[in-house]
């Protein structure tokens, strides 16, 4: 029987700022260092590798209580928390992250970046569990000097347990808005259907045993096939960052996922101009901790790495490589054509340049661009152009072309990138809005809010141009002048009246046009229900066309009535609807198709 080889799962940590992501990673690392007699911790580029022996030492008898033994060689925890790194951990339209820890502040619950994290996890189809952090902040919680949440919980007061349960239920309710079921980890019967919630404290370490045990359990139960290593094919991974290191020049910080990555191999990378191949000049890993303190030696040069690992790759002319793009590496004499095509397909699937009415989207990396475009798609925001890099004058020109067809789509949405000065000038000149920010979903929300405001203003503008329903009653003993013009006191029974509105009697006979409306000698632009005002009508004669206590209706033009009935009916008050229906019934006695 062929022996199967498995790599360590890649673990990412997401959550709102100040939810304790860095503290939790520090606690995991610190705990692992304390357990160094069982294997310790190995520092990778941008990641920490926790070997199997270390996890077994931390989790103690909890692993045996759950009745499974570790098959994976350990866990690779991405050190730098946040969406940018997660977004760049992409591969073949999905994520190189095997499982994610969504950190939620148990006191504050879901916050803006928590929601963004869930959206990104959903878009990348990454399984996740929730670490409900800051357990020690629950009022009345007494730390017990253990890494086990369950052991600590036994010694808490009933009131404290109740407070914690209420906070967990808040998290469960927030999850339900995404159609996810969630529950305390020990109550979960099927981890494929329910998100496990593990209370933890990054300060005291309580809950670390359960968190690490469940991560190992989930990866071994559901992800082993994904973790199986193929040493026969080319090396594959994701570029996390393109950066400069003094003395080495431009390098790639990357996560190596499959195959064996070796010095002197040929590496295939994505750039704005298309795929390129370069020879790997050097591979580096962080030096041991005692050597990291020496400024002259921060990295160890290595000849090869096994998956999964964080590594620095040095090669010539790689400045334009896309962060968030895949890479492949193989012997220099191996044909790389198919892998260049694969890289090209992956990039083209994300970058967009289409001749359609849509927004322009710019992002800092290919990974964040993919997440951005996906989020726009789920919000039904069409995209004309999507690319990586600064907002340029060309981007504004693209948006201005769209603006001529559709004002609401002639917009640039920019995530975590700067706007070039010439682009800003062009945007002012062409009146192209640029909506930018550092929280992905906030940018789209701001855009949709702007669209809503534009719609509202346009709706208000169109409504203001219409004649609205109104009904008045001529007051007894308030006839101030009988003709040329007739001036009388009226009460607005329903709706509103304005100067220039035409009035008719209840039998449909035309009365005339309101010339002026006054209240206590002041001219009014409008009078509404309940008001008693004086109006003047040049065409009417009191005693002939109208009389005291007559009711008069606003004579709405047919076209306006059609719009009110068809487009703005829900915006009318109940009184206004009644008058509109009364007027419509009156008009249709002589013209059955009136306002249809």
Mean pLDDT of 21-29: 78
The candidate with the shortest Cα–Cα distance to 347, out of 339, 355, 358, 337, is: 339
Q: Give pLDDT, residue 78.
A: 79
Mean pLDDT of 250-263: 92
Cβ count within 10 A of residue 401: 15
State the Rg of the chain over Cα: 34
279 CB-near residues (< 8 Å, 6+ apart) = 264, 265, 266, 267, 315, 316, 332
Residues with catalytic function: 83
Paired strand residues for 183:
196
Mean pLDDT of 541-560: 95
Q: Identify which has the larger pLDDT, 74 or 91.
A: 74
E strand residue ranges, 306-456: 309-315, 326-330, 352-353, 359-363, 383-388, 412-415, 434-437
Count how many residues are written for the chain.
Answer: 596
Mean pLDDT of 96-122: 88
Mean pLDDT of 432-456: 92
Q: Give pLDDT, residue 537.
A: 96
Spatial distance between the Cα atoms of 328 and 338, rounded to a whole number of angstroms: 10
Residue 447 in contact with residue 435, Cβ under 8 Å? yes
Q: Give pLDDT, residue 28.
A: 78
Q: How far is CA 254 from the centre of its chain?
A: 25
Q: Tell me phi and psi for residue 311, to 5 degrees.
A: -145, 155
Q: Does a cis peptide bond (omega within 30 degrees of 0) precede residue 204?
A: no
Spatial distance between the Cα atoms of 78 and 47, rounded to a whole number of angstroms: 4
Q: Give pLDDT, residue 428.
A: 96
The candidate with the shortest Cα–Cα distance to 258, out of 286, 283, 284, 228, is: 228
Among the residue ranges 276-290, 387-401, 501-515, the one predicted with the least confidence is 276-290
Residue 45 in contact with residue 101, Cβ under 8 Å? no
510-519 and 502-505 as β-strands: parallel, antiparallel, unpaired? antiparallel
What domains are there in the chain, each with its CATH number?
10-227 (3.40.50.300), 235-348 (2.40.30.10), 352-464 (3.40.50.10050), 470-587 (2.40.30.10)
Q: Give pLDDT, residue 233.
A: 85
Q: Give pLDDT, residue 511.
A: 95
Supply 148's token pair.
């086990």
Percent of the chain residues topping a pLDDT of 70: 92
What pLDDT, in 10s, does the model give residues 325-378?
899 999 999 999 999 999 999 888 888 999 899 999 999 888 888 888 888 998
| Residue matched to tokens 């559709």 | 406
Q: Tell me phi and psi for residue 477, to 5 degrees.
A: 70, 20
Mean pLDDT of 405-414: 96
Mean pLDDT of 170-195: 94
Q: What angle do CA 279, 285, 289 make, to 5 degrees?
A: 160
Q: How far is CA 550 from the centre of its chain?
A: 59
Phi/psi region, residue 56 (left: phi>0; alpha: psi -120 to 50; beta: rest), is alpha
What pLDDT, in 10s, does the model give residues 33-66?
555 433 454 555 567 788 888 888 888 778 777 6
Among the residue ranges 5-19, 250-264, 483-497, the one predicted with the least confidence is 5-19
Spatial distance between the Cα atoms of 385 and 354, rounded to a whole number of angstroms: 6
Q: Give pLDDT, residue 378.
A: 85
Dmax over CA atoms of the chain, in Å, equals: 111
Question: Would you call 32 exposed, middle or buried from its count of C-beta atoms within 10 A (0-12, 13-18, 19+)?
Answer: buried
Q: Give pLDDT, residue 32.
A: 57
Among the residue ranges 10-24, 103-117, 373-387, 442-456, the one predicted with the least confidence is 10-24
Cβ count within 10 A of residue 241: 19
- Indicate whether 296 pLDDT > 50: no
Residue 96 in contact with residue 238, Cβ under 8 Å? yes
230 CB-near residues (< 8 Å, 6+ apart) = 258, 259
Q: Give pLDDT, residue 81.
A: 52
Q: Identify which has the larger pLDDT, 541 or 61.
A: 541
Supply 429's token pair.
């000149």
Spatial distance between the Cα atoms of 466 and 472, rounded to a whole number of angstroms: 19
Residue 535 in contact with residue 474, Cβ under 8 Å? no
Spatial distance between the Cα atoms of 478 and 472, rounded to a whole number of angstroms: 14
Query: Which three-class secondary structure state does DSSP give residue 301?
Result: strand
Mean pLDDT of 246-256: 89
Q: How far is CA 496 from the centre of its chain?
A: 43
Supply 436's token pair.
């930018």
Spatial distance between the Cα atoms of 448 and 198, rounded to a whole number of angstroms: 35
Percent of the chain residues topping a pLDDT of 90: 65
Q: Give pLDDT, residue 66.
A: 67
Among the residue ranges 82-86, 113-117, 288-292, 437-441, the one predicted with the least confidence is 288-292
Mean pLDDT of 543-562: 95
Mean pLDDT of 222-242: 88
266-271 and 326-330 as β-strands: parallel, antiparallel, unpaired? antiparallel
Spatial distance between the Cα atoms of 410 and 262, rounded to a whole number of angstroms: 47
E strand residue ranges, 409-469: 412-415, 434-437
- Indicate whether 532 pLDDT > 70: yes
In the predicted model, what is the mean pLDDT of the chain? 88
């Amino acid at each position: 029987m062929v022996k199967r080889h498995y790599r360590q799962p890649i673990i990412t940590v997401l959550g709102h700022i100040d939810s304790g992501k860095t503290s939790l990673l520090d606690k995991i690392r610190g705990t692992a260092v304390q357990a160094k007699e069982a294997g310790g911790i190995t520092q990778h580029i941008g990641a920490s590798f926790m070997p199997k022996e270390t996890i077994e030492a931390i989790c103690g008898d909890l692993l045996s209580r759950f009745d499974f033994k570790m098959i994976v060689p350990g866990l690779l925890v991405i050190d730098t928390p946040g969406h940018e790194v997660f977004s760049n951990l992409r591969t073949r339209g999905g994520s190189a992250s095997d499982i994610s820890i969504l950190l939620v502040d148990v006191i504050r619950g879901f916050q803006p970046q928590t929601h963004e994290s869930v959206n990104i996890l959903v878009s990348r189809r990454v399984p996740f569990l929730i670490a409900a952090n800051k357990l020690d902040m629950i009022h009345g919680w007494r730390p017990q000097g253990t890494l086990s949440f369950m052991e600590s919980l036994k010694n808490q007061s009933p009131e404290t347990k109740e407070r914690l349960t209420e906070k967990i239920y808040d998290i469960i309710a927030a999850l339900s808005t995404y159609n996810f079921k969630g529950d305390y980890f020990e109550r979960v019967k099927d981890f494929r259907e329910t998100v496990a919630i593990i209370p933890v404290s990054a300060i005291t370490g309580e809950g670390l045993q359960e968190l690490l045990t469940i991560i190992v359990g989930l990866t071994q139960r559901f992800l082993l096939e994904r973790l199986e290593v193929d040493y026969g094919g080319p090396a594959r991974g994701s570029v996390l960052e393109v950066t400069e290191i003094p003395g080495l020049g431009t390098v790639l910080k990357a996560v190596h996922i499959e195959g064996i990555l070796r010095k002197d191999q040929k590496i295939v990378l994505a750039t704005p101009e298309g795929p390129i191949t370069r020879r790997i000049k050097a591979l580096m890993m962080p030096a041991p901790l005692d050597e990291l303190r020496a400024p002259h030696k921060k990295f160890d040069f290595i000849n090869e790495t096994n998956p999964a690992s964080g590594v620095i790759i040095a090669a010539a002319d790689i400045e334009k490589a896309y962060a968030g793009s895949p890479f492949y590496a193989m012997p220099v004499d191996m044909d790389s054509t198919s892998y260049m095509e694969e890289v090209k397909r992956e990039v083209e699937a994300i970058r967009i340049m289409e001749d359609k009415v849509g927004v322009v989207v710019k992002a800092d990396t290919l990974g964040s661009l993919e997440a951005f475009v996906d989020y726009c798609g789920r919000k039904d925001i069409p995209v004309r152009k999507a690319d990586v890099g600064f907002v340029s004058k060309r981007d504004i020109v693209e948006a201005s072309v769209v603006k001529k067809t559709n004002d609401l789509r002639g917009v640039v949405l920019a995530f975590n990138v700067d706007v070039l000065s010439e682009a800003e000038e062009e945007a002012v000149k062409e009146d192209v809005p640029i909506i930018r920010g550092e929280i992905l979903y906030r940018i789209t929300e701001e855009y949709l809010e702007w669209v809503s405001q534009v719609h509202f203003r346009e709706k208000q503008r169109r409504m203001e141009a219409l004649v609205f329903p109104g009904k008045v009653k001529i007051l007894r003993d308030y006839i101030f002048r009988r003709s040329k013009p007739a001036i009388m006191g009226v009460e607005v029974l329903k709706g509103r009246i304005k100067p220039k509105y035409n009035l008719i009697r209840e039998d449909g006979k035309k009365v005339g046009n309101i010339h002026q409306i006054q209240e206590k000698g002041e001219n009014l632009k409008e009078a509404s229900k309940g008001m008693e005002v004086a109006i003047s009508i040049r065409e009417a004669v009191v005693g002939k066309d109208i009389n005291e206590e007559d009711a008069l209706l606003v004579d709405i033009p047919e076209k306006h009535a059609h719009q009110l009935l068809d487009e703005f009916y829900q915006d009318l008050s109940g009184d206004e609807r009644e008058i509109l229906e009364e007027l419509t019934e009156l008009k249709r006695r002589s013209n059955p198709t009136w306002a249809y």
